[in-house]
Structure 1
């Protein structure tokens, strides 16, 4: 059993054959092994999470490794699945499945990205956020890779949810200002 931080694993989709049918599952990859999510535990359930993982490892008689992954809000137990294979999907496919309206609402609420008036070269830009901060927020809260987060930011621009404050840049992981169309005058 290993205890890891969420940044140490890569989230992915897996296929698993169950009675001849392929089932798509949320998965994780770590050191060229594939894992299937088993259970989530709150931060104050650390001991229960450890016991769950210990039991899962013992039940597999040591044939499958078990990961306990910690992020800022919870622990997640992952068990190695030797029957699983990576789902052949492209990065863009994953981000096209995200409901943008719900995502934007989450980004604009408490715990979302910092939207405030900002100044650049003595000009004030109201109600905007910084691209690099949005990328970090997406990576942490939506569990995306950096490339996926940038792709999702560009999708938000393409679908007219956000724009660069002077409409002169695509979405970038840089100190550039962006604004939600909802915050326009």
Structure 2
């Protein structure tokens, strides 16, 4: 990826924070949270490593190849899990994007003139992934828009303290999981734009 050092560090911070939150979600008593949180933590930390500016740390080429293998295994898990949950199809596209970026970085090591790792990928693949993740970011952002407040005709359902989600722990709140996914989608768009 060809980025400035400041953008690289912002991506590192965003992705590492998202990965850390996803690790905390793995302790949830809600099965669906645990099911997706591990893959999302792997994505967050993997993207954080990819975003470290090359001027600070340039790993050997085999690290990127190993990353492609790790994300290949995650893609197989997502493929298997997709038969139960539609969300795992998104994870499958995400792990595919990580495999693609890892392979691109392994194939073209950074030059001294670039501030970040890797070279450029195949424009058609990069463009398709960019369109997918840009659409995902827009859809995820729209899902975070609050619904209409309560009217005089009655209270809104699902508000805090009514048992409709207000008593969930902070790690089990669906809106926080959506923010986590939105953050990773934004980071993926930024990383794909720099390829």
User: Could you tell me the TM-score, scaled by structure 2's length?
Assistant: 0.24
Higher normalized strand content (fraction of residues): 1
User: Could you tell me the TM-score, scaled by structure 1's length?
Assistant: 0.25
Asked which structure has the greater CA Rg, the reply is: 1
Higher normalized helix content (fraction of residues): 2
